[in-house]
Amino acid sequence: MASYKVLIKTSAGKELAAVDSKSDRQRLVGRIQALASNPRPHGAEKLAGYADRYRVRQGHYRIVYLIDDEASIVTIFKVGHRMDVYR
């Protein structure tokens, strides 16, 4: 499988930096980096209402992202706690 380039929106970067626990933040960063090699890992779900957006779980947090297969780019849109990320 081809390697994808991972882009993180500025707002998603701020949300990631705001995660309280350092260990949670490190796990989220590891999960985001893993999307470069496999943008549709086991457990990733397509979001209803969108043609190309997915979400992946990491503990109590969710990572919402877009996959552009033609350009081989994964864009991270939102990172947050499961109670707040879909609002």
| Cα→Cα distances 35→4, 66, 73, 83, Å | 8, 11, 10, 23
CATH topology of domain 5-81: YaeB-like fold (3.30.2310)
Tell whether the model's pLDDT for residue 23 goes beyond 70: yes
Residue with more model confidence, 50 or 87? 50
What lies within 8 Å, CB to CB, of 77 at 6+ separation is 9, 12, 53, 64, 65, 66
Mean pLDDT of 9-15: 96
Between the CA of residue 26 and those of 51, 71, 72, what are the distances in Å?
A: 29, 27, 24
Boundaries of every domain in the chain: 5-81
Q: Which pair of tokens denotes residue 40?
A: 């549709």
The size of the chain, in residues, is: 87
Predicted local distance difference test score (pLDDT) of residue 75: 97
- Write out pLDDT tens, residues 65-84: 999 989 999 999 999 999 98
Q: Residue 1 has what pLDDT?
A: 55
Identify the pLDDT of residue 17.
Answer: 95
